[in-house]
Amino acid sequence: MDRVLTLAAIGEAVTGLLLLLIPGLVCAYLLGSDVTGSGVVVARITGMALIGLALACLPGPASLGMLAYGAFITIYLAWLGATQTATGPLLWPAVALHAVLTAGLAINFRQRRRTDAGT
């Protein structure tokens, strides 16, 4: 079963990476239609989530997946706010919330690694 899980995780990671890099092409091949505007943003966020899911399913700490997703989404949303003219009123609160959660996850991840290394 571990091999199947690892294979599935790799597949999701590749799909996530493709959604980050070429969301229009992936959506065209998967859904048969083009994606534009905010659909590109949602496709890229989905790609980040798939990469986080893949990391959580690979051998090692599952919390690494959520930590990676939190870092990805914080940086991406902040980049959108800093470079785009169309941003919603909840964008910066979402950036702040994800930054705080990611910091908490990073602290927890680091503490767990120290505890595991000490045993």
pTM (2 d.p.): 0.86
- pLDDT at residue 22 greater than cutoff 90: yes
**pLDDT tens-digit series, residues 42-101:** 999 999 999 999 999 988 888 899 999 999 999 999 999 999 866 899 999 999 999 999
Instruction: Count how many domains the chain has.
Output: 1
pLDDT number for residue 87: 80
Q: Which domain holds residue 75?
A: 2-118
Q: Please, which contacts does 72-79 make with residues 24 or more away whose CB atoms are closer than 8 Å?
A: 72/48, 73/45, 73/48, 73/98, 74/98, 74/99, 74/102, 76/44, 76/45, 76/48
% residues pLDDT > 90 (the chain)? 72
